[in-house]
Amino acid sequence: MAAQIPDPLPTGFQLGEYAIDRKIGGGGFSMVYLAFDPAGLPVAIKEYLPDGMVGRDGDGTVRPISEDKEKTFRQGMKYFFDEGRTLANIRHPNVVEVVNFFRANETVYMVMRYERGKTLQRHIHDLHEEPMREGFVRASFVQLLNGLREIHAQRLLHLDIKPSNIYVRQDGSPLLIDFGAARHVLLADQKYVPMYTPGFAAPEQYNQRDRLGPWTDIYGIGASMYTCIAKRPPPPANERLEEDKLGSAAKDFAGTYSPDFLALIDNLLRLPYTERPQSVFSVQKRLIELVPAHARPAKQSLMEVIKQKLTQPL
């Protein structure tokens, strides 16, 4: 049976100081709306609204559908609120900007800066059978990894990196969005039900939660890069542990992409977490080094290469 999905807030609904325009996304644990602030500027508002767990009254109030759902709903709402508070303190051009968060209608709302563009998943879909350019993938992920480094510096893991959670602005710059699965590295409470997306979740997200670390998000980066070139995600990691049918990107896509680029993707998707790169910086450094040596000025520092790469057109 499909999970019960509450109705979205209607057009014109006044949510605090914000006027709801329409639903623009969401699913699973939240609903996202386009809304306008008092100055008439557009914002995106994310409402904590887990499917199959809550219903909505006529006045917009959200209520658990049963007593046994209430505890899980309240626990998830606490995490949602805590993540909004954490993200509100992060200002980075490659991380979604949270400008406000508040409680209303017996749930929690996260107000984010509205960005024009489309998800990387939509970009992949729109290419149809045309291969995605390696230069675009490299440039996009070099920038995105800057944002992920900032997230990890705050002792936070994203844990749900995938093309649908990577937003590409109209100017081509990427944005890491949807931190619904994010968790503090030092989170002591292990009772929370883990959230992950098969194909993009690392093996340790299934049954080794004590081994989560930057390398876990790095697997998601590798799976997202793989999806860019294969137009499909890798098999779920738990299935790969039983019988690994993924194959090798270096062999499957030879001739279309450079050998070193494909070897990096294979490395990011290794099943044992100790065999993957252990830091985002090391992945970023490797992506930059993929730029042919003849295309880089002699004696150029790593930061100069990054700066140059980020200013190049996609």
Domains of the chain from N-terminus onward: 15-113 (3.30.200.20), 117-311 (1.10.510.10)
C-alpha Rg value of the chain to the nearest Å? 20
Strand partners, 101: 110
Residue 269, classed as helix, strand or coil, is coil
Rounded to whole angstroms, the maximal C-alpha distance in the chain is 66
At residue 6, what is the residue type? P
DSSP 164: G
CB 220 within 8 A of CB 128: no
Does 231 count as an annotated binding residue? no
Is residue 300 over pLDDT 90? no
Lowest mean pLDDT among 95-99, 225-229, 290-294, 302-306: 302-306
Task: Look at residue 85 in the predicted model and tell me its pLDDT.
Answer: 82
Task: Look at residue 230 in the predicted model and tell me its pLDDT.
Answer: 96
Per-residue pLDDT, averaged over 18-34, amounts to 89
Residue 96, φ and ψ in degrees, nearest 5: -55, 135
Is residue 188 over pLDDT 50? no
Using pLDDT thresholds of 50, 70 and 90, give the confidence band for residue 210.
Answer: confident
Rounded to two decimals, the pTM is 0.83
Measured over the CA atoms of residue 218, residue 167, residue 224 and residue 110, the dihedral's sign is positive
Mean pLDDT (the chain) is 87
